Amino acid sequence: MHKASELPNRPQGMWVTLASMVLASVLGSVHAFAVFLEPMENYFQTSRSQVSLTYSFTLLSLTLGVLIGHRFYGLLRPVSFSIAVCGLALIGTLIAASATHIIMVWLGYSLLFGLANGLGYGFALQISAQSNLENKGFVMGLVTASYALGSVLSPWPLAFVLNSFGLMWAMLSLTFALFVIMPVVSGLLYWSRAQLHVSPPDHKQSPRVNQHVIFFFWLAYGLAVMAGLMAIGHATAIAEQAGLNGQLILIAPSVLALFSMSGSLLGGWMADRISFKVTLTVLPLLSALSLALLALFLVDISVLFGLGVTGFAYGAIISIYPAAIATRFGAVEGVRIYGKVFIAWGIAGFVGPWLAGRLYDLNGDYRLALIIGSIAGLGSALVVLTLLNEK
């Protein structure tokens, strides 16, 4: 395992960043799950809340991957680690493609693909940041934006394959994409001579590490992302409830993801220039406002604007938090701490989409779920404003 208190300059950080962006873009297809909602309901003859559990379980597995990732970064070289991540995700999509019951989808897509997603996403964020220390916020924003780009681009081909060939072939298309990028990502990492430094398990924590501060980050992050994750998991259904039809329904997750990508880019830029206390107070408030307006005026084309604003705030939030943690605790210690804080994302990812689906089954609409998401955003802003300090 690599041990480092200060990281070496990485003259080929551009190649590491490019590899991270390619990996993140394909893994980001997980957030286009909304296109699978109705096809899975029909294929497995089950309820909206049951299908929503697929996404919720996936996000739990993703969270586990980010949480435990630092324990594996030092066991394998970056090239080998990237191959292992793609291989695990590939196996998961193959199992999901052969599913005859939704439980098999939970095993393949939710558990294996989700776990690989978390391992790969956390790896891409940390190795790109350590390879570009002078502008780590911007680079993390690029990787996060690439992750969002995957959810922007993937709904269209996935929907086409779903409608033309069925669920099995849609899952196999993900398998093919992973197979294609595996040599690209590993080749770029090999060319760059990439390394990833983490503090060992017996590493004595820095005096900068305050457990109360970690908890406040955890709480604020979980509340902040709940709104975005609820909207991502049900974007097409929310658009349908608003009265959209045809291609406009399919546009909804892409609009949300496109704005999320823009938010990630701008968030990374802001992370290097603006106090994180300011940005992490304002952005959840923006998300809360957009969801409240969606709950009140869930009609026609305006829903796309509301989803877009929610996506923008979510994208900026998820790019600023890892940069803020790296700034607050240091680039090496921050690898471990980000994994702990990311648990909140997983809890929000499980509760948010499942709760939205459950409330839809009970009430026949998403208004109450949107209101709950808005309240969560307000709570996040309050935690940051009152409990988190810069130092």
> Is residue 379 in some structural domain?
yes
Which of these, 52, 54, 91, 88, lies nearest to 69 by C-alpha position? Answer: 88
> Is residue 6 in some structural domain?
no
Query: Residue type for 91, please?
Result: I
> Is residue 4 in some structural domain?
no
| pLDDT recorded at residue 206 | 54
DSSP 182-208: HHHHHHHHHHHT-------TTPPPPTT
Q: Calculate the CA 58 to chain-centre distance.
A: 11
Which of these, 345, 347, 341, lies nearest to 329 by C-alpha position? Answer: 341
Residues found in the chain: 391
| pLDDT recorded at residue 391 | 59
| pLDDT recorded at residue 4 | 41
pLDDT at 202 over 70: no
pLDDT at 135 over 90: no
Query: Residue type for 145, please?
Result: A
DSSP 14-76: HHHHHHHHHHHHHHGGGGGGGGGHHHHHHHHT--HHHHHHHHHHHHHHHHHHHHHTHHHHTTS
Mean pLDDT value across residues 117-124: 93
Which of these, 144, 348, 324, lies nearest to 227 by C-alpha position? Answer: 348
In sequence order, the 6+-apart residues with CB closer than 8 A to the CB of 103 are none
Query: Residue type for 246, please?
Result: G
Highest-pLDDT range among 11-25, 119-133, 173-187, 217-231: 173-187
Highest-pLDDT range among 135-139, 189-193, 233-237: 189-193
pLDDT at 31 over 70: yes
Which of these, 167, 144, 139, lies nearest to 272 by C-alpha position? Answer: 139
| pLDDT recorded at residue 227 | 82
In sequence order, the 6+-apart residues with CB closer than 8 A to the CB of 120 are 23, 24, 27, 65, 82, 85, 86, 89
| pLDDT recorded at residue 173 | 96
Least confident of 175-189, 238-252, 357-371: 238-252
Element containing residue 13 per DSSP (H, E): helix 13-27
| Parent domain of 323 | 13-198+207-387
Query: Residue type for 346, please?
Result: G
pLDDT, tens digit, for every residue of 264-299?
Answer: 889 888 888 888 899 999 999 999 999 998 888 777
> Is residue 107 in some structural domain?
yes
> Is residue 7 in some structural domain?
no
> Is residue 8 in some structural domain?
no
pLDDT at 203 over 70: no
As a whole number of angstroms, the distance between CA 355 and CA 368 comes to 10
As a whole number of angstroms, the distance between CA 304 and CA 284 comes to 19
CB atoms within 10 A of CB 330: 18
> Is residue 3 in some structural domain?
no
CATH code of the domain covering residue 344: 1.20.1250.20
Q: What average pLDDT is seen over the chain?
A: 86
Mean pLDDT value across residues 336-344: 87
| pLDDT recorded at residue 366 | 86
* CB distance 118 to 62 below 8 Å: yes
pLDDT, tens digit, for every residue of 226-266?
Answer: 888 888 778 888 888 777 776 777 788 778 888 988 998 89
> Is residue 2 in some structural domain?
no
Highest-pLDDT range among 9-18, 209-218, 263-272, 369-378: 369-378
pLDDT at 7 over 60: no
Angle 354-357-358 from CA coordinates, rounded to 5°: 85
As a whole number of angstroms, the distance between CA 133 and CA 10 comes to 9
Of residues 201 and 28, more confidently modeled: 28
Confidence of residue 1 (pLDDT cuts 50, 70, 90): very low
Q: What percentage of residues in the chain have a pLDDT greater than 70?
A: 92
Domains of the chain: total: 1
